[in-house]
Amino acid sequence: MGRKHKIGVFDVSVHIVFILLSLACILPLLLVLGISLTAESSLISEGYHLIPREFSTAAYSYVFTSSSTIIRAYGVTVFVTVVGTFLQLLFTAMMAYALTRPEVKGRYFLSLIVYIPCLFNGGMVASYILMSQTLHLRNTIWVLFVGSMISPANVLIMRKFLRSIPESLIESARIDGSGEIRTFFKIVLPLSKPSLASLGLFTAIAFWNDWMTCNLYITDTKLFNLQYLLQSMMKNIQNVLANADRTQGMQNALAHLPTEGVRMATCILAIGPIILLYPMLQKYFNKGLTIGAVKE
């Protein structure tokens, strides 16, 4: 009896610890949500509160009806995330697979070529000069993903995964008359779906969350992605929205802009998809999270 009771106390306290930890992780987001649903006047006079003192959806209706900037930024982010993730996964898997094949004679040297950028890079200035002055990619949508079309670290991770594909499968495809490239797309890729999914998850989130690239190379508000729009809204929301919406005679509406609310509402919209996809993300947690870090 006594022993059972002891375990009970321990279990309860573990649950309490985890409830507190979970709250510490979730409450800050709920706070942002709460602020976004509070009337601007209340925010100014009473400050921020978790539960709105004066409920209002004005910020959201402003975002959805009055401002084309935010909707457009959503479009840029979605485009870059989808195209960037697809290309990076494809190029990474193609390269990683070729590096595992014993037929390729120079594969040790080629692996070294992939390894070196993991150790040493030219630094921010060097990439900045390349992107903006050599390749003239400033203020184009391409700059947001071309630099990430290959990830040397992911090639090396993927290479380890692909080594576990049984040679006999590839051999039998060859005997059946399948070309090597066809074998890759029809047999190797489908077999590596789980690892592709978890690598893709991290790549997609990195693209979704990236604001630095946009910050460095984009000055045209029409090409702002969501995160960078948010970041510049923090500095000065009036300018960001005014520049883009000037043509639509928005100056008047800007005078009554619910500044604080719109900021927080945009923030919620930027987190939205990650929360919505969360159950799906969690499915890959157990498999995917340990990629490239520690084997189970």
Q: Cα–Cα distance between 294 and 132 in angstroms, integer?
A: 38
Q: How many residues line the site for another protein (CB under 8 A)?
A: 104
Q: Choose between 243 and 290: whose C-beta lies nearer to another protein.
A: 290
Q: Choose between 90 and 165: whose C-beta lies nearer to another protein.
A: 90
Q: Could you tell me the sign of the dihedral formed by the alpha carbons of 281, 287, 291, 293, in that order?
A: positive
Shortest spacing between CB 288 and another protein, in angstroms: 10
60, 62, 74, 211: residue in contact with another protein (rule CB under 8 A): 211
Residues 216-275 that bind another protein (CB under 8 A): 216, 227-228, 230-231, 234, 260, 263-264, 267, 270-271, 274
Q: Cα–Cα distance between 42 and 48 in angstroms, integer?
A: 8
Binding mask 148-187 for another protein (x = CB under 8 A): -xx-xx-xx---x------------------xxx--x---
Residue type, 239: N
Task: Mark the segment that binds another protein (CB under 8 A) among 60-68, 189-197, 212-220, 242-250.
Answer: 212-220
285 binds another protein (CB under 8 A): yes
Half-sphere exposure for 282 (CA within 13 Å, toward CB): 5
Residues 116-145 that bind another protein (CB under 8 A): 116-130, 133-135
- CA distances to 137, 228, 265, 275 from 144, rounded to whole Å, are 9, 11, 24, 23
Q: Choose between 120 and 168: whose C-beta lies nearer to another protein.
A: 120
DSSP-derived 3-state class of residue 47: coil
Shortest spacing between CB 57 and another protein, in angstroms: 18
Say which DSSP state 188 is in. I
Q: Choose between 134 and 252: whose C-beta lies nearer to another protein.
A: 134
Binding mask 36-65 for another protein (x = CB under 8 A): -------xx-xxxxx---------------
CB atoms within 10 A of CB 261: 24
CB 73 within 8 A of CB 224: yes
CB 132 within 8 A of CB 117: no
Q: Choose between 126 and 248: whose C-beta lies nearer to another protein.
A: 126
Calculated CA dihedral for residues 161, 94, 139, 232, nearest 10 degrees: -10
Residues 6-35 that bind another protein (CB under 8 A): 7, 10-11, 14-15, 17-18, 21-22, 24-26, 28-29, 31-32, 35
Residues 59-118 that bind another protein (CB under 8 A): 90-92, 94-95, 97-99, 101, 103-105, 110-118
CB 87 within 8 A of CB 149: yes
Per-residue tokens: 228: 């960078």
Q: Cα–Cα distance between 127 and 168 in angstroms, integer?
A: 43
